[in-house]
Structure 1
Amino acid sequence: MSKERMLTGDRVTGKLHLGHYVGSLRNRIELQHRYESFILLADVQALTTHFENPAMIRDHLREIALDYLAAGIDPEASAIFVQSMIPEIAELTVYYSMFVTVNALRHNPTVKAESKDRGLDEMYYGFLGYPVSQAADITFCKAAVVPVGEDQLPHIELTRKIVRRFNELYRPVLVEPKALVGEMPRLVGTDGNAKMSKSLGNAIALDSAPEEVDYKIRKAVTDPARIRKNDPGHPDVCPIYAYHRAFRPEGEAEIREGCEKGLIGCTGCKQLAVTALERLLEPMRERRAHYAAKPKRVDEILLDGTSRARAIARETMREVREAMGIDYFDKV
């Protein structure tokens, strides 16, 4: 390989939002020319929580692809591919599941948190084994780096353990990946109570119209202890300040001082945040409109990316089967 490989992606459960952008998408865009990049449309893993409605996944597949292209993913530099069209990922998932314990999965912090958020009394096999499937996503292309949000770090650590275990059991074939976490912490939702999430209704989608961005920021919660404009504020508990840090870093210090000293009101602070968000989102809308008008081109990008990923998957699986001694007829 002339470059190390990077693997990243998203479950196909809905359009991407600002939390995705801050958590990993911005990192992917900055790194895509430094690494040989693969971006996964995780439609199979979307079934772990949406198995009763696969039509929804079908509807969102191209929407997320448009989000990628609009945000700045270069299809020449990054292979955008569809998970279900790489059968080698499913095969790897089965092999890994043979030596990953149920207890390790049950105690995975991300699995525990999501099952609690969704109120699951019982966990389906696919949901519980999601981290194993994710390990297969990462390792089929021998990815060395994985840009993720902080909440995904337990999954990456499990992948590293799986790689070490496989290489010890059989032969050093797989690459142990490292996580690349963006500098920004997780973006708080507009309600201030949780991370930005589609299901919680507190997210700003990347394709939001200007009036929607303005409305959601105007209605967003701020420092609950600040009643009047001249009241000293506490920016670290205010979601709007987090947006300044993420999207307007050049003015962050001024906002902090103005808030703490009661020199700027929440209305003015919010308007500056809206302006910064529009500076980010307007070019995305233009690129999205360009690709949305060419649906056949979008399909070509997905098919080409999937073909590139599949070729690498076949080679990896050849090495994996040989290392395990189950390449029964390859040498006949």
Structure 2
Amino acid sequence: MHDSSFHQAATRSAEVEADLRLHPDRYRVLTGDRPTGALHLGHYFGTLANRVRLQDLGVQVLLVVADYQVITDRDDPGDLRASVLDLLADQLAAGIDPARTPVFAHSAVPALNQLLLPFLSLVSVAELERNPTVKDEVEATHGRTVSGLMLTYPVHQAADILFCGANLVPVGRDQLPHLEVTRDVARRFGARYSPVFEAPDALLSDTPLLLGLDGHKMSKSRGNTIRLRDDEDTTVRAVRGALTDGRRDITYEPATRPGVATLLELAALCTDRDPADLAVGLDGAAALKALVAEAVNERFRGLRARRRELAADPGYLLGVLADGNAHANALAQATLDQVREAMGTVYR
């Protein structure tokens, strides 16, 4: 995305952030995750904590468990049912209240997915092939066949956002091109038929990128994370194995000491302190790692206890999902009815 476009999006995001604190009832947010593995601290600080914040401000938030998106780039999706319940337990343990924030599954909302057909007619193949995320995924296949679902991934996300009338989507900078597809679909549908959809705004995250324990991007597949479900001993072992450097003094220098800086940033996020302040007086990597492990375990002790209770009651989790699915189906059917009216495809 060009710097000018990003600046425009960032300016608008700041305006929206200020307004939603005063008028949360004006906004509806759609966000969610693919059930592809356990959520970790990067997810918590990058997305989960913000979702809870928005919910508690009084913004209407809807969470999609994007089970259909798992099959965009995987021949074997694994045990999807178990993955969906695990993801739901993570979300609720983090503070999502299903009474205020419905949680639903892609595959359980037929009318949402039916919107994909008219939406695809509004976007060219060339536009999809130019989408940065699609391009990255294609390159990552190293010559393997790319599914049609992967190519249309941004349009499926447009259906996710627009079916429920969401007008605000929390994203990082790298996700802005996806949101622009959604905005294009909303505008083009209105130009071709009649206005049904509002073009949603981006709510840009200001949480810094938290690197993994090996100094690379935090990733489920790299195993360089601390999972929300991990117990305290597992956390201690993971932190002890984190990458630092050969210097004994501890300083916060992200450009030249990324491993040390990542640990300090993690401890800072857990304690709501400044990472540079935390470095003062620490003597050696062992002291740093002990500080980080204690900070993580203290911050997430309550969340982990709640998660254990939730995971032990799959019937409750399935009930939460059933309620969310019913809510999403009602919204999706109403939207699909509007779309049919606008397109002239109501036959009665």
Q: Unmatched 5+ residue regions in structure 2?
A: 1-23
Q: Show the counterpart of 1:319.
A: 338
Whole-Å Cα distance in 1 between the matches of residues 236 and 143 of structure 2? 35
Structure 1 residues 149-228: aligned runs within 5 Å: 149-193=172-216, 195-222=217-244, 224=245, 227-228=246-247
* Partner residue in 1 for 2:326: 307
2:339 and 2:291 mapped to 1: Cα distance? 53
Question: Greater shift after overlay, 96-105 or 64-73?
Answer: 96-105
The question of whether the paired residues in 2 share the 8 Å contact of 1:248 and 1:273 is answered with: no
Structure 1, residues 287-320: CA drift from partner, whole Å, max 9, x if none?
A: 1122223221111110001101110111111111
Change (3 A) 1:129 1:196: same
Equivalent position of 1:95 in the other structure: 118
| 3-state SS of paired residue (1:78) | coil
Kept in 2: contact 1:12–1:61 (CA 8 A):
yes
CA distance in 2, matches of 1:210, 1:138: 37
**SS of equivalent residue, structure 1 residue 172:** coil
Cα pair distance change 1:29/1:232, threshold 3 Å: closer
CA drift at 1:2: 5.5
Residue 297 (structure 1) aligns with: 316
Post-superposition CA distance 1:136-193 (Å, at most 9, x none): 0011001011123343222112211211111222111112112223221222111112
**Counterparts of residues 282-293 of structure 1 (less than 5 Å):** 282-293=301-312
Identity across aligned pairs (percent)? 39
Q: What is the CA–CA distance in structure 2 between the aligned matches of 1:107 and 1:280, rounded to whole Å?
A: 41
One-letter identity of the residue aligned with 1:313: A
Deviation of 1:245 after TM superposition, in Å, equals 4.1
Aligned partners of 1:255 and 1:231: how far apart in 2? 9
Instruction: Describe the SS at the equivalent of 2:184.
Output: helix
The whole-number CA distance in structure 2 between the counterparts of 1:318 and 1:43 is: 24
Query: How far apart, CA to CA, are the structure 1 residues paired with 2:95 and 2:198?
Result: 28
Which residue type is aligned with residue 63 of structure 2?
A: I
Give unpaired runs (5+ residues) of structure 1.
Answer: none
Q: Give TM-score scaled by structure 2 length.
A: 0.86
C-alpha displacement at 1:233, in angstroms?
6.3
Distance 2:51 2:175 in 1: 15
Alignment-derived partner of residue 10 in structure 1: 33
Q: TM-score, normalised by structure 1?
A: 0.90
Count of aligned pairs between the two proteins: 320
Distance in 2, Cα, partners of 1:306 & 1:297: 14
Cα distance in 1 for partners of 2:312, 2:251 equals: 49
| Secondary structure at the counterpart of residue 73 of structure 2 | helix
Q: Which residue of 2 aligns with 1:272?
A: 291
